[in-house]
Amino acid sequence: MNITHNAADRNVQKLCIEVHKTDYIESVETALKKHRKTAQVPGFRIGNAPMGLIKRNYEKPLIAEEVNKIVSENLYGFFEKNSINIMFEPMLIEEESTIDFEKKEEFIFAFEFAVQPEFEIDFAALPLIRAFKIKASDTEIEDYITQIRKRHGDYINPETIEDDDYITAKWGDEGQGFFFIKDLTENCKDKFLGKKMEDTIHVSFNEMFTSKENLKKFLKFSDDDFDESSVGEAELIIVSIGRVNLAEMDDEFFKKAFPDGSITSVKEFEKNAAQQIELQWKQESDRKFMNDAITLLTQNSEMDLPEDFIKRYILKNNEEITEEKLNNEWKQYLESFKWQLIEGKLGKYGNIEVKIEDVKNHIRNFYYQNYFMQFNLADVEERLNQLVEEALKDKKQVKQLYDQLFDTKVMELLQSKMNIEEITGDFNQFITFMTGKKEAELRSHSVKEDRKQKTESKEGEEKPKKTRRSPAKKQSSD
């Protein structure tokens, strides 16, 4: 066997592997003898068929199998031995190859492959990136606590209707439905507040609810059979009034709501509520940060990509992609390839590794947080372990979790290394930050890091806070 490497072009190189008969014949003959022992050939007992007949029927496929094995091992072995990091899979150069297993005994496999470009990531030199940390507002904290108190409160049937009540009403001969007062329009809500059982209220269905979804749910219509023009007016009769009294935040409430004893006071409850709310929104702010970070890194990382090779590779391996479509979307493709290379480099730079224990812990925490929070962890440990083992059987899901956890570790690395200006505000201010509608306002309200007193806006809301940190400059030796 002979291997020839042509590295005249730094980006796209060639490798030619010549396979001679002496490279494969011994293995093929061994395979033929083994095959003869078990081959079922008409007219012969198993193991007694003539070797010539066995060769005629099986030699060519066995040669093809053995030669392909030899080529694959030597191709990737060459890359490993010479520390060549390739992009994509090598492509066979058909016009320079000689592969005819029916007529030839000597074979030539010519490949071209793209070498990953050399580039550096200088965190200190990167432009500033703005990141938003969402802080739970007082209203969100209050709403969160109210929901928990409702969950552990008492259900009653009050005499008169108030804002948070649940109403069942009937109309006509067969009409009956239920709704929450909070889902009504302001005009319609006024008609119901203060009313009692058996009271009658005249309503126009199309003007009753703040959303058509609530109207369809009340009238029990599906999307297909709902006709807005066919729902008119009616006299609604109050059938029942339901209300959940909020549980008192005493020792008994905290024992029921948090049996693990993690929260035993109103102050701890408020702190936990803020943490849970901010955790819910963190995924949105993290997504925004990563999108911006990817754009910043791809735009500021100089690398010489073999664009012609990449285009040919895509067209050869994706029949549904036309050359026109590829050219129209080439910028997006190129940015994606650049990010894959950067992400790989970041993984090596930060020694990022996802272990099976990381995946198990992620699955265990998911089930506990979403289904078993009301139990002590020790009491449900065995059940959690069963759920983890069951989830690990889904190989596709496990692969997705590996990727997800790897992405999270990459994000944490970037958050520790990039030059970040952090803005703190509630979710509404985050939406403003996302849309950029009030960018100038956000830029104008810089707050010093050590400032303790809150700055109040005209509406009485805290303005977004901005802090600046440049960890990359502090860790220039990394």
pLDDT of residue 457: 38
Q: Which alpha helices (H) appear in 203-250, and where do they start and end?
A: 212-219
pTM of the predicted model as reported, rounded to 2 decimal places: 0.67
Is there a contact between 1 and 7 (Cβ–Cβ < 8 Å)?
no
From the list 130, 10, 132, 1, the residue with the least C-alpha distance to 72 is: 1
Q: Which residues of the chain have pLDDT under 70?
A: 436-478
- Spatial contact of 63 and 15, defined as CB atoms under 8 Å apart: no
pLDDT at 43: 79
Long-range contacts of 88-97 (CB under 8 A, 24+ apart): 88/113, 88/114, 88/310, 88/313, 89/113, 89/313, 90/15, 91/309, 91/312, 91/313, 91/316, 93/14, 96/16
Per-residue pLDDT tens over the stretch 403-453: 999 999 999 999 999 999 989 988 888 888 887 654 444 444 433 333 333
Q: Tell me which DSSP letter residue 110 carries.
A: E
Give the pLDDT confidence score for residue 319 in this predicted structure.
87
CA–chain centroid gap for 55, Å, is 53
pLDDT at 473: 40
d(CA 118, CA 135): 41
Going from N- to C-terminal start, the domains of the chain cover: 2-115, 123-138+257-474, 154-245
pLDDT value of residue 358: 94
Greatest pairwise CA separation for the chain in angstroms: 101
Tell the CATH topology of 2-115.
Answer: Alpha-Beta Plaits (3.30.70)
CB 35 within 8 A of CB 56: no
For residue 297, the model assigns a pLDDT of 95
12, 306 contact by CB (below 8 A): yes
201 close to 234: Cβ distance less than 8 angstroms: no
Reading the block at residue 66, the tokens are 């053995």
Tokens matching residue 114? 């793209």
How many residues can be counted in the chain?
478
Cα separation, 30 vs 54, whole angstroms:
12
Q: Nearest CA to 159 among 193, 202, 209?
A: 193
Quote the pLDDT of residue 24. 93
Q: What is the pLDDT of residue 420?
A: 93
